[in-house]
Chains A and B, each alone.
Chain A
Amino acid sequence: SQQGEEDPQALSIQEGENATMNCSYKTSINNLQWYRQNSGRGLVHLILIRSNEREKHSGRLRVTLDTSKKSSSLLITASRAADTASYFCATDRTGANNLFFGTGTRLTVIP
Chain B
Amino acid sequence: EAGVAQSPRYKIIEKRQSVAFWCNPISGHATLYWYQQILGQGPKLLIQFQNNGVVDDSQLPKDRFSAERLKGVDSTLKIQPAKLEDSAVYLCASSLPLDPQETQYFGPGTRLLVL
Does A33 sit within 8 A of B, measured CB to CB? yes
Residues of A within 8 A of B48 (CB): 96, 98
B46 → chain A closest CB, angstroms? 12
Does B102 sit within 8 A of A, measured CB to CB? yes
Are B102 and A92 in touch, CB under 8 angstroms? Answer: yes
* CA distance in complex: A37, B17 (Å): 30
* CA distance in complex: A40, B91 (Å): 11
Are B4 and A42 in touch, CB under 8 angstroms? Answer: yes
**Number of inter-chain CB pairs below 8 Å:** 57
Number of A positions contacting B (CB below 8 A): 23
Are A45 and B42 in touch, CB under 8 angstroms? Answer: no
* Interface size, B (range): 20 to 34
Does B108 sit within 8 A of A, measured CB to CB? yes
B104 → chain A closest CB, angstroms? 7
Residues of A within 8 A of B55 (CB): 96, 98
Are A41 and B108 in touch, CB under 8 angstroms? Answer: yes
Mark the stretch among A13-21, A59-67, A71-79, A100-108 that contacts chain B.
A100-108
Having A42-B93, A48-B103, A99-B104, one finds 10 other A-B pairs with CB under 8 Å, namely: A31-B102, A42-B91, A43-B43, A45-B101, A92-B102, A96-B56, A98-B48, A103-B40, A103-B42, A104-B41
Residues of chain A at the chain B interface (Cβ within 8 Å): 2, 4, 31, 33, 40-45, 48, 88, 90, 92, 96-104
